[in-house]
Amino acid sequence: GAGVSQTPSNKVTEKGKYVELRCDPISGHTALYWYRQSLGQGPEFLIYFQGTGAADDSGLPNDRFFAVRPEGSVSTLKIQRTERGDSAVYLCASSLNPGTMVNEQFFGPGTRLTVL
Amino acid sequence: ELKVEQNPLFLSMQEGKNYTIYCNYSTTSDRLYWYRQDPGKSLESLFVLLSNGAVKQEGRLMASLDTKARLSTLHITAAVHDLSATYFCAVDRGGSEKLVFGKGTKLTVNP
């Protein structure tokens, strides 16, 4: 079946602009996660949705970052007034069974964001 | 704060050799995961380890978990070039679904 998909695959923007990154999770997965991966580092958690609500947004670095999942499926990560330090690969993951013993997260291909 | 450390960060080995990657974590964790990432690609799930003493094997890779020592190992047997990739371990904690990742181990297997 289809995996997690993310669009666009690459996004180049200028400092100060607004960007939206989209994630389409695996069908039927109720949990959705956003991570950010800088060059040479492991992914860092940003936010986790259970259904439509953000269950944990403790990883969002500041109020320029916001994410929504209005219908409990597709999610959009929104970044306002982008800064060069926001450049990274933004990864989305989804899982079927949050709160159970095995909560395996399946990752999408990522969106590479470059802020000039 | 939950922290995850991997070592080594870089590993160059010859085909046919064995080696082990180590993953230490700082606080009690419910689950430990190993992922593989090829250059420019996303993360592929390799193993999920749930309990003390858990051991899982897939091909030339074997992962184990010692919750008392807060240590997981990923053992590579008779390495082949196709295993060249970056390997990440990640843990999460009871009540939290977020994964905390190590910095990764970049493995290069030379012919």
Say whether pLDDT at B28 is over 80. no
Cα–Cα distance, B40 to B15 (Å, whole number): 23
pLDDT in tens, B42-51: 899 999 998 8
Report DSSP letters for A18-34, one per residue: -EEEEEE--TT--EEEE
- Report yes or no: B3 at the A interface, CB cutoff 8 Å: no
Cα–Cα distance, A86 to A36 (Å, whole number): 9
Question: Is A33 in Cβ contact with B98 (below 8 Å)?
Answer: yes
Overall average pLDDT of the A6-11 stretch: 97
Helix, strand, coil share (%) of chain B residues, nearest 5: 5, 55, 40
Cα–Cα distance, B71 to A55 (Å, whole number): 29
Average pLDDT for chain A: 93
- Report yes or no: B31 at the A interface, CB cutoff 8 Å: yes
pLDDT in tens, A13-51: 999 999 999 999 999 999 999 999 999 899 999 999 999
> Model confidence at B95, in pLDDT bands (50, 70, 90)?
low
Q: Using a CB-CB distance cutoff of 8 angstroms, which residues of chain A are in contact with residue B97?
A: 31, 33, 48, 50, 55-56, 95, 98-99, 103
Interface-testing mutation among B36, B43, B87, B101, with chain A (most A C-beta atoms within 10 A): B43
pLDDT of residue B93: 72
